[in-house]
């Protein structure tokens, strides 16, 4: 009797202690493990989901668009020649470690990204981490960079001078990689800063339990709209089906990485809701131009006619995909609406192969150095936004190709190895894709085609195309630039440089009680607008 | 002398009721219902593996019809269709040959290598024994599946490489088993007699020791086939075995288990059932054989 009373008292006490707390934790299911949380050196979406909450950039994308609005910079002006940008910082903003966000801190961050000799740049590179995006967006480091000076011209004013105008400059700065870190914290932790991130964001970092979850808590001093949910947990659940199971069971409130066939499941579940990211992603097949057969345009055209993209998109994208005719997704302002895609026609494909002297079909390839091997078609082992189920899509495409007389052997490998092989130009025929970072056509086209003959692009060489793209980068009027990007798409199409397969609107699934999650085309979303009802 | 040897050689084999030992074992085998069931399943699976390719031509590389995607079982497609619109019955049947062929060849290879090493080690003892068994112990120290995965990861995925990996991880069992048998037999009088009569080591091994160690090896082989089917399916499931679009039970499971959440049960049920059934068959048969070939049972 006494024991029973005691137990119930304990139970009551426990209930009393636990009851008020739990309501305000938002749990999100992620597809994998983050790499680290130093925004300047990461490139992957799983890590940047966390850094977006912890850090802010000078500017950010507005709502669900890629229009740029102020963040840490309240306002800015640009000189008439487009070379000098002056940013006025928001006053009274503090990093999570209490140090002030001022012009000096911003300049310090720029120098860290830009100057190879900066101690906090140098040590990262020595530890094997590179400032990849800075290099890609701003032309390189030190003297190679398009940036020629970054100065503090007052306690809260920063001036950035460029060697020549760069049209997508602001859009670039809004990317997650150029979020501002606390100089004090970076200096304290060095290369370990990625495990102890300190920024100005709506959430501050609490804990990273490897292979389990990352915990964040609301920053009460945030300069913008304060987080509605006090605590965020991002849980790593690798398997798509298992993650959906966790969502259905109420263990998590939201998730990305839905199997295409589960889109209908989510739609049909009264407790769940489906959100789509605006389309900003394109999946493609790339040729390696060191393969002699692929140097023949008719062979490439045969591939283009052989693949039934419509059937693949209809069957394998769960209703969220679209057939792609060019690299840019239709929502981008450089999209070429006049471009006429290759029609699906196995007979045309066969005719083209015959014309190219390969009437007996194609199953073996010859590398530039004379080495012969079976034609291997590489597909990625991991679901990507543009190819949600790469193996199925690869098998469907390989069957289409086989029906036209092109016999491929499908092969895959671990994702990091896959990217490495592609970077070194070792794969003859492969699937890959791109998700836009900043809403500028430059980010789609120039990254791939501005350096003719690059190994990572399968040694594809199209000098006129590169010239058009580089010209478009320097113009400042949108209409003029759009014209050039449309022209570039047509050139790429006429040369069959790549085979563009599909665009997708990556689906996200949430419990019905989640409100205010705004899917963003770049795939990184802010959690401070999220509410639980 | 041959007659003498033959007589000596038969000395340890127990004959029951005047019938030949094989016939006696067979009678004991079919007397057990479980073993009978195993035998029926194994014969059926073997028949499927042999007959299917002969009566039906299947080209996996062009087999895909997205308009028929994920259709539940009907008259036209008794097992339904998979996510690329391929007939699952056709693929499960054709996969039988792949899975079984893989398992049988892996086990045959493992038995040949393993027992050869074991007999040598057991018969000659000394340094040979020490060195060989040391290697076998190292192999045994790793969990078999993990070791197979590691091997395939090293030499690259594919059917042939997974065959090699599966047989390598099965070698130590045979080596241990045949070494044990050789150790026991080498001190037997009939072996000593054969040696005394001047038989060469090869002859003693091949004519006396090997035939008399067969029963445990046969039992182990049957059980190993079940293990090899599972192992092959595991490697296929992990994408390390048969490469797409070739049909293989494990790979088919890997492609289809994600449909668990969307309710298309037939895509994973049938390949899974095929694995279960064939493993069950070989295990039942193996258990039955063990009982049937056990000399202690025979003496009663």
CB contact under 8 A, A402 and B259: no
Summarised one tens digit per residue, pLDDT across range A48-92 is 999 999 999 999 999 998 899 999 999 999 999 999 999 999 999
Angle value at C-alpha A518, between A278 and A90, nearest 5 degrees: 115
Interchain proximity A316–B260, CB inside 8 Å? no
Q: How confident is the model at residue B2 (pLDDT cuts 50, 70, 90)?
A: very low
Neighbours of A20 (CB within 10 A): 8
pLDDT at A14 over 50: no
> What's the gap between Cα A436 and its chain centre?
6
Looking at the predicted structure, is the pLDDT value of residue B15 above 70? no
- The mean pLDDT of A350-356, rounded to a whole number, is 96
Phi and psi at A206, nearest 5°, equal: -110, -55
**For residue A273, what are the β-bridge partners?**
A510
- DSSP helix, strand, coil percent of chain B (3-state; round to 5): 75, 0, 20
Judge whether residue A339 has pLDDT over 90: yes
Cis-peptide into B245, omega within 30 deg: yes
In a domain, B5, yes or no: no
Q: Does the residue B14 lie in any domain?
A: no
* Closest chain A C-alpha to B267 CA, distance in angstroms: 13
Query: Can you read off the two tokens belonging to residue B185?
Result: 């037999």
Q: At what angle do helices A478-494 and A463-474 cross, to 10 degrees?
A: 170
d(CA B271, CA A44): 36
Here the CATH number for the domain that contains residue B250 is 1.10.3720.10
How many whole angstroms separate alpha carbon A50 and alpha carbon B254? 31
Q: What gap in Å lies between CA B88 and CA B72, rounded to an integer? A: 10
pLDDT band at B17 (very low <50, low <70, confident <90, very high): low
Q: How confident is the model at residue B293 (pLDDT cuts 50, 70, 90)?
A: confident
Judge whether A300 and A287 are in contact, CB under 8 Å. Answer: yes
pLDDT at B168: 94
- DSSP one-letter code for A227: P
Rg (CA), chain B: 23
Find which of A2-6, A397-401, B57-61 is predicted with most confidence, using mean pLDDT: A397-401
Tell me which chain A residues have a C-beta less than 8 angstroms from the C-beta of B266.
none
Mark yes or no for CB contact A261/B259 under 8 Å. Answer: yes
Q: Would you place residue B14 in the very low, low, confident or very high pLDDT band (cuts 50, 70, 90)?
A: very low
CB pairs under 8 A between A and B: 70
Average pLDDT over residues B243-251: 93
Q: How far apart are CA A288 and CA B290, in angstroms?
A: 57
* The pLDDT of residue A32: 87
Does residue B173 fall inside a structural domain? yes
Q: Name the residue facing A244 among B70, B245, B261 (closest C-beta).
A: B261
Choose the closest CB to A396 out of B84, B239, B260.
B84
Cα–Cα distance between A144 and A150 in angstroms, integer?
15
Confirm whether B22 is domain-assigned: no
User: How far B75 CA lies from chain A's nearest CA (Å)?
Assistant: 23
> Are B66 and A409 an interchain contact pair (Cβ–Cβ within 8 Å)?
no
Query: What is the number of residues in chain B?
Result: 300
Nearest CA in chain B to A400: B62
Any chain A CB within 8 A of the CB of B105?
A: no
Is there a contact between B10 and B188 (Cβ–Cβ < 8 Å)? no
Candidates A259, A395, A403; nearest CB to B84: A395
Nearest CA in chain B to A248: B261
Q: Cβ of A75: how many Cβ atoms within 10 Å?
A: 10
Select from B261, B265, B267, B268 the residue whose CB has the most chain A CBs within 10 Å, as the one to mutate to test that interface. Answer: B261
Whether B262 and chain A come into contact, CB under 8 Å, resolves to yes
How, if at all, do strands A507-511 and A254-256 pair? antiparallel
Q: Which of A265, A308, A315 sits opposite B69 (nearest CB)?
A: A315
The answer to the question of residue B190 being in a domain is yes
In this complex, the residue of B61, B259, B261 whose CB is nearest that of residue A398 is B61
Closest residue to A411, CB basis, from B243, B261, B263 = B243
Choose among A241, A312, A316: nearest Cβ to B260.
A241
Of B91, B99, B70, whose CA–CA distance to B260 is shortest? B70
Q: How many domains does chain B have?
A: 1
pLDDT digits (tens, 9 = 90+) for A419-476: 889 989 999 999 999 999 888 999 999 989 998 999 989 999 999 999 999 999 888 8
Which residue is it, tokens 């007589």? Answer: B7
Asked whether the predicted pLDDT for residue B21 surpasses 90, the reply is: no
Rounded CA separation A185/A205 (Å): 13
B82 sits in the region (left: phi over 0; alpha: psi -120 to 50; else beta) called beta
| CB contact B69 to A (< 8 Å) | yes
Per-window interface: B 230-249 vs A, CB < 8 A: 239, 243-245
> Under an 8 A CB cutoff, do B66 and A261 touch?
no
* Dist CA A336 CA A321 (whole Å): 19
Q: How confident is the model at residue B300 (pLDDT cuts 50, 70, 90)?
A: very low
Residues of chain B positioned with their CB less than 8 A from the CB of A311:
66-67
Supply angle C-alpha A412, A418, A419, rounded to 5. 155
Kindly tell me if the per-residue pLDDT of B10 is higher than 80: no
For residue A291, what is the DSSP state?
B
pLDDT value of position B295 = 64
Nearest CB to A410 within list B69, B244, B259: B244
Domain of B203 in residue numbering reads as 76-297
Query: Cβ of B64 and A244 within 8 Å?
Result: no
Which of A241, A410, A412 shows the shortest C-beta gap to B245? Answer: A410
Hunting for tokens 């000596």 — which residue is that? B8
Question: Which chain A residues are Cβ-neighbours of B268 within 8 angstroms?
Answer: none
* A306 interaction partners in chain B (CB closer than 8 Å): none
Q: pTM of the full predicted structure?
A: 0.84
Lowest mean pLDDT among A100-104, A270-274, B213-217, B264-268: B213-217
For residue B169, is it within any domain?
Answer: yes
Shortest Cα–Cα distance, B46 to chain A (Å)? 29
pLDDT tens sequence across A215-268: 999 999 999 999 999 999 999 998 899 999 999 999 999 999 999 999 999 999
| Residues from chain B contacting residue A245 (CB–CB below 8 Å) | 261
Which residues of A have a CB under 8 Å from any CB of B?
240-241, 244-245, 259, 261-262, 264-265, 308, 311-312, 314-316, 381, 389, 391-392, 394-396, 398-400, 402-403, 407, 409-412
Q: Hey, is the C-beta of B264 within 8 angstroms of any chain A C-beta? A: yes
Task: Tell me the pLDDT tens digit for each residue of A463-512.
Answer: 999 999 999 988 888 999 999 999 999 999 999 999 999 999 999 999 99
**B126 domain residue, yes or no:** yes
B32: in domain:
no
User: Is pLDDT of A139 > 90?
Assistant: no
């Amino acid at each position: 009797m006494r024991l029973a009373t005691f137990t119930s008292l304990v139970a009551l006490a426990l209930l009393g202690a636990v009851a008020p707390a739990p309501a305000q934790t938002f749990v999100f299911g992620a597809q994998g493990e983050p790499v680290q949380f130093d925004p300047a050196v990461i490139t992957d979406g799983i890590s940047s989901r966390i850094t977006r909450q912890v850090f802010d950039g000078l500017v950010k994308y507005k709502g669900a668009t890629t229009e740029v609005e102020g963040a840490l910079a309240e306002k800015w002006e640009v000189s008439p020649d487009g070379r000098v940008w002056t940013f006025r910082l928001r006053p009274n903003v503090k990093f999570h470690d209490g140090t002030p966000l001022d012009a000096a801190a911003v300049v310090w961050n720029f120098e860290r990204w830009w100057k190879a000799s900066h101690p906090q740049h140098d040590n990262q590179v020595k530890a094997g981490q590179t400032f990849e995006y800075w290099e890609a967006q701003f032309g390189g480091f030190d003297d190679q960079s398009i940036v020629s000076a970054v100065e503090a011209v007052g306690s809260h004013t920063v001036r950035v001078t460029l060697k020549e105008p760069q049209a997508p400059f602001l859009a670039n700065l809004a990317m997650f990689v150029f979020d501002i870190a606390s100089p004090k914290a970076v200096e304290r932790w060095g290369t370990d800063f990625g495990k102890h991130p300190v920024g100005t964001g709506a959430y501050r970092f609490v804990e990273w339990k490897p292979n389990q979850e990352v915990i964040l808590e609301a920053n009460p001093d945030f300069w913008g709209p304060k987080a509605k949910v006090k605590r965020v947990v991002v849980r790593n659940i690798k398997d798509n089906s298992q993650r959906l199971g966790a969502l259905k069971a109420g263990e998590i409130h939201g998730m990305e990485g839905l199997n295409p066939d589960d889109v209908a499941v989510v739609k049909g579940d009264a407790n769940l809701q489906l959100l789509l990211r605006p389309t900003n992603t394109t999946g493609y097949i790339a040729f390696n131009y060191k393969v002699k057969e692929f140097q023949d345009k008719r062979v490439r055209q045969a591939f283009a006619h052989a693949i039934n993209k419509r059937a693949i998109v209809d069957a394998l994208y769960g209703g969220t995909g679209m057939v792609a005719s060019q690299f840019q997704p239709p929502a981008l302002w450089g999209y070429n609406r006049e471009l006429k895609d290759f029609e699906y026609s196995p007979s045309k494909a066969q005719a083209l192969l015959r014309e190219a002297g390969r009437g007996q079909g194609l199953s073996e390839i010859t590398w530039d150095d004379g080495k012969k091997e079976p034609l291997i078609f590489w597909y990625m082992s991991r679901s990507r936004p543009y190819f949600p189920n790469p193996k199925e899509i690869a098998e469907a495409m390989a069957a289409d190709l086989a029906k036209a007389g092109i016999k491929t052997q499908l092969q895959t490998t671990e994702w990091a190895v896959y990217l490495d092989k592609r970077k070194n130009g070792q794969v003859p025929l492969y699937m890959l894709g791109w998700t836009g970072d900043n809403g500028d056509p430059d980010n789609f086209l120039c990254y791939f085609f501005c350096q003719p003959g690059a190994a990572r692009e399968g040694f594809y060489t199209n000098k006129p195309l590169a010239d058009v793209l580089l010209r478009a980068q320097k113009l400042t009027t949108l209409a003029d630039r759009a014209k050039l990007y449309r022209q570039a798409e047509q050139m790429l199409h006429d040369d069959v440089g790549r085979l563009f397969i599909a665009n997708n609107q990556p689906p996200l699934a949430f419990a019905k009680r989640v409100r205010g999650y705004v899917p963003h085309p770049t795939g990184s979303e802010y959690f401070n607008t999220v509410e639980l009802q | 002398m041959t007659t003498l040897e033959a007589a000596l050689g038969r000395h340890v084999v127990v004959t029951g009721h005047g019938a030949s030992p094989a016939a006696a074992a067979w009678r004991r085998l079919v007397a057990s219902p479980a073993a009978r069931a195993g035998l029926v399943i194994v014969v059926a699976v073997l028949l499927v593996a042999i007959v299917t390719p002969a009566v039906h031509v299947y080209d996996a590389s062009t087999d895909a019809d997205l308009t028929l995607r994920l259709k539940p079982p009907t008259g036209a497609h008794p097992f339904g269709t998979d996510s690329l619109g391929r007939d699952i019955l056709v693929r499960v049947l054709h996969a039988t040959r792949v899975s079984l062929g893989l398992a049988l060849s892996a086990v045959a290879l493992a038995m040949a290598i393993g027992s050869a090493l074991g007999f040598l080690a057991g018969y000659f003892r000394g340094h040979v024994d020490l060195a060989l068994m040391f290697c076998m112990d190292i192999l045994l120290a790793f969990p078999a599946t993990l070791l197979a995965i590691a091997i395939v990861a090293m030499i690259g995925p594919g059917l042939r490489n997974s065959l090699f990996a599966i047989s390598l991880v099965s070698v130590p069992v045979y080596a241990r088993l045949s070494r044990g048998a050789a150790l026991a037999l080498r001190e037997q009088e009939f072996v000593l007699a054969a040696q005394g009569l001047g038989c060469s080591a090869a002859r003693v091994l091949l004519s006396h020791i090997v035939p008399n160690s067969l029963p445990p090896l046969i039992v182990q082989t049957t059980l190993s086939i079940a293990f090899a089917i599972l192992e092959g399916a595991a490697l296929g499931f992990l994408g390390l075995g048969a490469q797409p679009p070739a049909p293989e039970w494990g790979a088919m499971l890997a492609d289809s288990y994600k449909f668990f959440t969307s309710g298309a049960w037939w895509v994973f049920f049938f390949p899974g059932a095929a694995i279960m059934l064939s493993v069950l068959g070989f295990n039942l048969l193996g258990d039955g054989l063990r009982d049937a070939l056990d000399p202690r049972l025979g003496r009663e």
